[in-house]
Homo-oligomer: A and B are copies of this chain.
Amino acid sequence: MRRVNVAIAGFGGVGRATANLLLSRRERYAQVYHADVRLVAVCGSRAGLRDPEGLQADQLTTLQEGLSGPDFIAASGADILIEAGPTDFRTGGPGLAYIHSALASGRDTIVISKGALVHSGKKLCALAQKSGAILKLSGAASAALPTVDLVEHSLKGCNVLEVEGILNATTNYLLDAMMTRGVGFDEALREAQQGGFAESDPRNDTEGWDTACKLLILANFGLGAELEMDDLIVDGIQSVTAERIQTWRSEGLVPKLVGSLVHSDGTFRASVGVKTYPLDDAFANVRGKDKAIRITSDAMGETLAIGSGKEPLATAAAALKDLEYILSARLAPAR
């Protein structure tokens, strides 16, 4: 049985869920991959924990101040980094330094936050290629909704012509509430914030940036596009009034915030904005916090997926499928 040490940087809800799910699957890793997977370090922005023999679930409640940063992870002896920090696509966020350091030193890296991938994706890929590290990002590309998976596996060999995605749970929840109750954006948002279903600063979701990040990651990492955020036309749901909602309802249409990608002759055009769908379109029935993607390819026509996993568990599970990919790749018997 081969020892595999994992560290997690970024220890909010998703980082913690990932740690707990990983620890609960240690027996699976031993059986399927003959891997003795240990969680040797975790850290948030200021505090962390380390144990070269492996942390247990009951230790994770209290972190020690000062144990944090890329050097802390490097010194932990981790073979694999899972990065789960907050997303900031304008700067790359705190994850960028962790990911950069790990890839530069040849450490396989599983990225959950979107910021660094949007900000420095090309550079990070080049780093990984140079050092031989594996870079995976299932958790960043809409988590439980299969997106990059569909392109990489289910549509392997096909030419993807078009992608449409309902990629942001908060805006889907808000639009759903607006349609159900016939109210506009401001009122729906106020209610959602009071109920804890939207953040106090919801603009990253409502103005379309979160959708744009996921679309860009899918385009660049799944389809080989080389888009920058400036290439995207990004619109949100903040200007959807009660009046427009009423009109759509009377016309039997359902509005969704959609990321769209069109691929033609090697060129990708991407945008985010509200689109409407008739009631018998599968997109019209993507409810609440569910997400969906529809991919049109030359040989397989339309392939549609809808994901409705509960967060943060679903994102943790998405990141850990990357872990299994890495265990397969690193521990497979040579042919």
Q: Is the CB of A303 within 8 A of B334?
A: no
Enumerate 16 A-B pairs (CB-CB under 8 Å) in ascending A order. A21-B299, A25-B157, A153-B153, A153-B321, A155-B321, A156-B324, A157-B320, A157-B324, A280-B285, A280-B287, A282-B285, A282-B306, A299-B314, A303-B309, A305-B305, A329-B335
| SS class, residues of chain A in contact with chain B | mixed
Q: Is the CB of A308 within 8 A of B299?
A: no
Q: Is the CB of A310 within 8 A of B306?
A: no
Q: Is the CB of A306 within 8 A of B307?
A: no
Q: Is the CB of A317 within 8 A of B158?
A: yes
Q: How far is the CB of A233 from chain B (nearest CB, A)?
A: 28
A314 to B301, CA, bound (A): 8
Q: Is the CB of A301 within 8 A of B306?
A: no
| Chain B residue nearest in CB terms to A325 | B156
Q: Is the CB of A310 within 8 A of B316?
A: no
Q: Pick from B25, B146, B310: contact of A303, CB below 8 A.
A: B146
* Most chain B CB atoms below 10 A, which of A287, A304, A329, A334: A304
Instruction: Confirm or deny: A281 has a beta carbon within 8 angstroms of a beta carbon on chain B.
Output: yes
Query: Beta-carbon contacts of A12-53 to B below 8 Å, as 1s and 0s?
Result: 000000000100010010000000000000000000000000
| Chain B residue nearest in CB terms to A156 | B321
Instruction: Say which size band chain A's interface belongs to.
Output: 35 or more
A321 to B281, CA, bound (A): 28
Report A83-103 residues with CB < 8 Å from chain B CB: none
Binding site for B on A (CB under 8 A): 21, 25, 28, 144-146, 149-150, 152-158, 279-282, 285, 287, 299-310, 313-314, 316-318, 320-321, 323-325, 329-330, 334-335
Q: Is the CB of A317 within 8 A of B157?
A: yes
| Chain B residue nearest in CB terms to A21 | B299
A306 to B279, CA, bound (A): 17
Assuming the A-B contacts A301-B308, A303-B307, A334-B334, are A321 and B154 also in contact, with contact meaning beta carbons closer than 8 angstroms in the complex? yes
Q: How far is the CB of A1 from chain B (nearest CB, A)?
A: 18
| Chain B residue nearest in CB terms to A28 | B157
Minimum-distance CB pairs A-B, first 10: A299-B317, A146-B154, A156-B321, A301-B309, A300-B309, A304-B306, A144-B300, A149-B154, A153-B153, A302-B308
A308 to B294, CA, bound (A): 11
Assuming the A-B contacts A310-B301, A335-B329, are A150 and B146 also in contact, with contact meaning beta carbons closer than 8 angstroms in the complex? yes
A299 to B156, CA, bound (A): 26
Residues in chain B near residue A317, CB distance under 8 A: 157-158, 299-300
